[in-house]
Chains A and B, each alone.
Chain A
Amino acid sequence: MQRSLSAEDARFQAELREFMTTQFPEEIRAKVRAGAPLTKDELVRSQQILNAAGYAVPHWPTEWGGRDWTPLQFHIWQSEMQAAAVPMPLPFNASMVGPVIATFGSEELKQRFLPATANLDIWWGQGFSEPDAGSDLASLRTTAVRDGDEYVVNGQKTWTTLGQHADWIFCLVRTNPDAKKQEGISFLLIDRYSPGVEIRPIQLIDGGHEVNEVFFTDVRVPAENLVGEENKGWDYAKFLLGNERTGIGPVGTLKRHLAQTKEYASGVSRSDGTSLLKDPLVAARFAALEAELVALELTVIRVAGHSEDGKPNPASSILKIRASQLQQDVSELAMDVAGPMSLAWLIEDDVLADSGDGALVPEWARRATPTYLNNRKVSIYGGSNEVQRSIIAGAVLGLKG
């Protein structure tokens, strides 16, 4: 056991810190720090800068842009990006569909999609959940029926995050309605602009347009767009979800949010004129959260919960549960720090006059409640925390009724 970084890892960290803090556009980092939503163009530009430097898809196989890093180096990479408020590579591309195509796809699919996916020339949307297939994802009903060299797809997907920007959608579809439900599912890549695809926005409680419904009506998809084998899609989906949960461990982002919230608290006065951070109860909440966050970060480093050999690692369930709880705790604290100011909401499309009286209630305080409400999602998505508990109980503790 050793706490300090090796000389090699310290050098690696210094290189990444240098890149993220000096070579990356400050105007994008400033927006991320402020919690402002980024435009599609900004996200594409970000990922392309990272990709050019070899920092967009380091966890892919090396022939497709991956880096031969140790688990600790992957953690350092993610921490430095998040600490510097550099947006993470688009998860649908970098963490979800990319590794699936690289691991299970045909050589032709790899050539066709991986470089464009790494560079965000193609924006991917996720077509997994359906109105009647949430936690019970395997009961999905969207069908793909083989017709010559094509599949004909019919059905509805939902919760497709940022689907309004998507060029392509990776979908779980039912190709064998007669098999056991997990054994009749395939993993299909669908061009969003194919006739019969319709995307409709869903407005969420924070007022944002983050997720969408996607409808498929007699959509014809070339059979070559099938990833891996027909009816093996459930295995690929489990592999993807194991990676997704790891991606949901944004420790660096969480640390930055907590540090910023502390700074905001020091700028809020109490009736005696001292800052809110002098309130022992408020200070204690920060202190306890910092201690819990340290434990989470150490666990991320210790278990390095990436999928291995195409199998999901149950450690990813631990990280998903705890990271989501702490994410919610931090946004709850931020809202409480905003206090009475949390009653005012920032409507993202409106522009607050810089010098107007409205700006006296700062943007961070106006974002506090929408962010708190938005973050209720983190214990629901990526496999709800209840699903994660069932995975731990079954796969780790061997508790099976």
Chain B
Amino acid sequence: MDFTIDSEQRALAQAVREMAARHPSGPSRTGAGPKPHNADLWAAMADTGLLGLPFGEEVGGFGATAVEVFLAAGELGQAGLSTAYPDALLAAQLLADAGDDLLSSVIGGEALALPALAEPLRAFAPVPGGVQATQSGEGWVLEGAKGPIPFGESATHLIVSARAEEGTVLVVVDAPQVTDGVLGSGQRGRLLLSGAAAAESLNRALALASVALAGQALGAMESAMRLTTDYLKTRKQFGVPLAAFQALTHRAADMYVSLELARSSAMFLAMSVAEGDTDPATVSRARVVLSRTGRHIGQEAIQLHGGIGMTAEYAVGHLTALLTAVEHTYGDVTHHVSSLAAQIEGHDTVRLLG
């Protein structure tokens, strides 16, 4: 096992960092709430090769691995950028597994294909079960609503998970009509994958998206940690810097301990997926640690800043909101602990080194 980041990977990270700096986060409509899709940033990401990082050159991809996805997403997270990157990679993986022609225009940034997995009033599951798909003529009809779909209004295509007689099906909806983040019932689309192939592909795609989410969360946590330590050094009260108060510095130390363990978990997930391990348990273990850490660091970053951390003008609250959003994307702590708990009897211990 080796955690070293090589020089090519460092160069990629550097390029993404510079690109991110040229596209600062735009304003939210309200507070630190959801940001709209930034088409300029997305085009720059496509130009930098990010949208096709883990896919083969024959489909316009970069021929890299999940490790590079992790590093690129980390830079986006550090910059506090909220993007559809994890979702777009998930959709791209589904298209790649199906050998679908749409993939190359998704990688090129001309099309924006996003997954539609969530359903109103349903807890997270890859296929939540409220939406039914039935074949009708050459296409498929979807009964039931999907949402929320982050950035869904800007999508050119949605890949909808649904249940059908075949089991799980994935249906591509072209030019979807998304209103307030929700895709209403009665949509028509074409079949991408069905049955076991759909379930397996979803599994792989969720693992890849989880790597991007892990990178994004780690980057955001690093920024929140840095802002917090800088603030403790410079902000003065009672005539001394806040760093003079042990009640505060010990909390910062605990944030750092959490951050370093989360870093190990995120890197391990990236290496695992890069080597073809898309076992949901590997994903869940990493996401439990990252999501718990995201809460810890996000909450403490605001608290240690005091009032300024509450303002929409200052970055730390936006980072905390980003961490909160990541945590609830594709399964939160409850979902992942609960699925790990359901298979707790299947092994004596978790072997990392064989």
| A contact set with B: CB distance below 8 Å | 1-5, 10, 13, 72, 76, 79, 83, 255-256, 258-259, 262-263, 266, 277, 280, 283-284, 286-288, 290-299, 301-303, 315, 318, 321-322, 386, 388-390, 392-394, 396-401
Across-interface contacts of A256 in B (CB, < 8 A): 349
**B1-22, CB < 8 A from A:** 1-5, 9
Alpha-carbon distance A321/B253, docked complex (angstroms)? 10
Main SS class of interface, A: helix
Q: Which residue of B lies closest to A314 (CB)?
A: B256
Closest-by-CB residue of A relative to B2 is A2
Residues 284-313 of chain B: 1 if any A CB is under 8 Å from the residue's CB, otherwise 0? 111011000000000000000000000000
Whether B250 contacts A390 by the Cβ 8 Å rule is yes
Q: Which of A283, A290, A322, A388 contacts B350 (CB 8 A)?
A: A290
A4: min CB distance to chain B, Å? 6
Nearest chain A residue, comparing its CB with the CB of B229: A397
22 A-B contacts (beta carbon < 8 Å): A1-B267, A2-B2, A72-B2, A255-B349, A256-B349, A259-B348, A262-B345, A266-B345, A277-B345, A280-B341, A287-B288, A290-B349, A291-B285, A293-B350, A298-B261, A298-B264, A298-B265, A301-B264, A315-B260, A321-B257, A386-B250, A398-B229
B228-270, CB under 8 A of A: which get 1 and which 0? Answer: 0100110000001101111001101110110011111101101
Residues in A with CB closer than 8 Å to B348 are 259, 262-263
Q: State how many residues of chain B have any CB contact under 8 Å with chain A.
A: 55
Flag if A284 contacts B233 (CB, 8 Å): no
Inter-chain contacts of A399 with B (CB < 8 A)? 229, 232-233, 243, 249, 252
In Å, the complex CA distance between A293 and B261 comes to: 10
User: Closest chain B residue to A292 by CB distance?
Assistant: B289
Q: Is B271 an interface residue (CB 8 A)?
A: yes
Enumerate chain A residues within 8 angstroms of B253, measured Cβ to Cβ: 388-390, 392-393, 396-397
CB < 8 Å neighbour of B5 from A1, A255, A258, A386: A1
Q: How far is the CA of A193 from the CA of B260 in the complex (A)?
A: 46
Q: State A290–B285 Cα separation when bound (angstroms).
A: 8
Contact B229 A392 (CB under 8 A): no
Q: A3-B271, A322-B257 are in contact. List 5 more A-B contacts (CB 8 A).
A: A4-B1, A288-B288, A299-B260, A301-B3, A389-B250
**Min distance, Cβ A387 to any Cβ of chain B, angstroms:** 10
- Determine which of A4, A296, A303, A398 lies in contact with B275 in the assembled complex, contact meaning CB atoms within 8 Å: A4
Q: Of all chain A residues, which has the CB nearest B262?
A: A295
How far, in whole Å, are A262 and B341 apart by their CA atoms in the complex?
A: 12
**B264 contacts A397, CB within 8 Å?**
no
Taking a contact as CB atoms under 8 Å apart, the answer to whether A393 and B250 are in contact is yes
